[in-house]
């Protein structure tokens, strides 16, 4: 038996590993991690300013907890990107899935409110029995839906970048592994004989 090992082929330049902006997913993942690092820095600054102004320790404890959780998740993202460890990108992906679920619920609720408001205004045009609040109109709800979609789209985009970066790391990792197999090799002897005409 003979032990044969072959290396799997990996091409980092296939279109799946490029973002919509034309850069590689690993560079895109670094951009997303940088954006989140900057946001955490702004969050820390806002927490310090609110603590100095209000001196409310309960609010500060909530801010510190939120900063610690986001810092831990972004730290995992940086470690996963820089050391090419796909598992460290999972907390960020779970956070984005949670955000998308919340955005979806908010979108459905705003849409139902908008439809309910329009139906209410059509049915009870003259004298509604339970009027809507005066500051709630269909234009503000449409504006809210547009803002919600505008905020949800970058979250979906970041999720797709990180998902593709994780896929890139996994494919790169598995391509460095060798596929080995044991094959039977038969030793055959050849005998040469003169051919008679």
Query: What does the pLDDT look like over 21-35, one tens digit per residue?
Result: 788 899 999 999 999
Q: How far apart are CA 195 and CA 176, in angstroms?
A: 52
Mean pLDDT, rounded, for 147-171: 90
pTM, rounded to two decimals: 0.70
What was the pLDDT predicted at 126?
A: 47
Where helices occur in 124-176 by DSSP H, the ranges are: 138-175
Give the residue extent of every domain in the chain: 2-183
What's the token pair of residue 172? 């790169």
Residue 139, burial from CB neighbour count under 10 angstroms (0-12, 13-18, 19+): exposed
What's the token pair of residue 129? 């029995």
pLDDT at 47 over 90: no
Q: How far apart are CA 196 and CA 17, in angstroms?
A: 65
What's the token pair of residue 192? 């040469």
pLDDT at 90 over 50: yes
């Amino acid at each position: 038996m003979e032990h044969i090992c072959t290396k799997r082929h990996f091409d980092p330049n296939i279109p799946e590993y490029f973002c919509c902006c034309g850069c590689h997913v690993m560079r895109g993942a670094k951009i997303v991690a940088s954006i989140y690092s900057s946001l955490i820095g702004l969050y820390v600054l806002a927490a310090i300013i609110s603590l100095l102004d209000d001196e409310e320790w309960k609010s500060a404890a909530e801010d510190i907890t939120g900063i610690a959780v986001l810092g831990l998740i972004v730290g995992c993202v940086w470690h996963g990107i820089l050391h090419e460890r796909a598992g460290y990108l999972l907390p960020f992906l779970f956070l984005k899935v949670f955000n998308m679920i919340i955005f979806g619920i908010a979108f459905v609720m705003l849409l139902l409110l908008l439809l309910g408001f329009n139906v209410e205004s059509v049915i009870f045009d003259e004298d509604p029995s339970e009027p809507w609040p005066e500051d709630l109109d269909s234009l503000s709800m449409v504006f809210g839906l547009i803002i919600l979609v505008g905020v949800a789209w970058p979250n979906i985009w970041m999720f797709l970048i990180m998902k593709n970066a994780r896929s890139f790391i996994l494919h790169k990792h598995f391509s460095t592994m060798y596929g080995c197999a044991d094959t039977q090799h038969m030793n055959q002897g050849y005998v040469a004989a003169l051919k008679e005409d």
